[in-house]
Amino acid sequence: MIELRPLRQFAVLAEELHFGRAAQRLHMTQPPLTQAIQQLERTLGARLFERTQRRVALSAAGAALLPEVQRLLAAADALPQQAQAAAAGLAGRLRLAFVSSIAYGPLPGWLRSFRQAQPAVQIALREATLDVQLQAFAAGEIDAGFVLHAEGAAPPGLAAWRALREPLVLALPEAHPLASRRTLGLAQIAAEPLVIFPRVIAPSLFDAVLGHYRAHGATPVIAQEAIQMQTLINLVSAGMGLAWVPASLKLLQRPGVVYRPLSGPPLHCETSLVWREPAPPVVARFVAHVRSGERRQSPPNDRKPA
């Protein structure tokens, strides 16, 4: 194994092409420098310098080796700064998962501003539902994630911050007889076929929707299930039924689909940023960045693992 010290000595001598001046720069005497270069040449199995009584010149092997040595020394010199940046969360890799609905809300802005603030942090994005994210956390595959859930029902065992609170609205076909109304009551849509996400991907929200029906003495008619919010909207456009979706999804302007709020007290959902404690520096910096930049209408909901 070759140490950095003789490589640094080689690089200085290659620049000076004079043992006396190189030794002076290296704060050593000439004989130890000569011995060090000879030992390096023996280790590498090649002559690095052509020496005569009047001059020192790089050999072909030395000239070929010099750029690589300079790159290696520059990388070694940069290690302390890189380590300090990583320890402060200014560099590194953030593996971030997210549910599709928040992509229609504040997530793009948060990502853009974080990349501008921390250009040395690499962000690896992964779209995933709550159940998939929990599996990824358990396997150590993600560092943080945005998850969708019912109001006040962030997944236990993780640190959580409420990033978004919004009402659920009804997506219905534009040609539906109820589409002309500005708001809809549950009694009006209780018998309508429902397009909904499977319970496994958002159990608290699924239960909240069904509980809302039951609270009004109704039982939902589930016509179709779909995992992605975009797919739910496409199925609504195809006339498969109505869908409860976060209000931010109104930005998804699918032809043939309209969105209507529910009359009376709205049913809310939340999107939380979740992560494991203790948070690695880059995760802590991302959480702080999002929290400091978010303008929200309701107060935050912070909680630590149970």
Q: Compute φ and ψ for 209, nearest 5 degrees.
A: -65, -50
Q: Say yes or no to pLDDT of 302 above 60.
A: no
Q: How high is the mean pLDDT of the chain?
A: 89
**Per-residue pLDDT, 88:** 61
pLDDT per residue as tens digits for the range 182-192: 999 888 999 99
Rounded mean pLDDT, 43-71? 91
**Per-residue pLDDT, 40:** 92
Percentage of the chain beyond pLDDT 70 is 92
Q: Say yes or no to pLDDT of 38 above 60.
A: yes
pLDDT per residue as tens digits for the range 93-135: 899 999 999 998 899 999 999 999 889 899 999 999 999 999 9
Rounded mean pLDDT, 22-32? 93
Buried/exposed 204-222: b ≥16 CB within 10 Å, e otherwise: bbbebbbebbeeeeeebee
Q: Which residues pair with 275 in a beta bridge?
A: 144, 159
Tell me whether the CATH fold assigned to 4-87 matches the one assigned to 92-306.
Answer: no
CA distances to 1, 66, 69, 236 from 256, in Å: 69, 66, 64, 8
- Its pTM surpasses 0.85: no
Domain boundaries, the chain: 4-87, 92-306
pLDDT per residue as tens digits for the range 204-259: 999 999 999 999 899 999 999 999 888 999 999 999 999 999 999 998 888 999 99
**Per-residue pLDDT, 305:** 38
Instruction: Work out the angle at residue 107's Cα, subtended by the Cα atoms of residues 104 and 108, and round it to the nearest 5 degrees.
Output: 85
Nearest to 266 by CA among 149, 186, 192: 186
**Per-residue pLDDT, 239:** 93
The listed CATH number (3.10.290.10, 3.40.720.10, 1.10.1370.30, 3.40.190.290) that belongs to domain 92-306: 3.40.190.290
Q: Say yes or no to pLDDT of 1 above 90.
A: no
**Assigned CATH topology for domain 4-87:** Arc Repressor Mutant, subunit A (1.10.10)
* Tokens standing for residue 295: 């303008």
**Per-residue pLDDT, 85:** 59
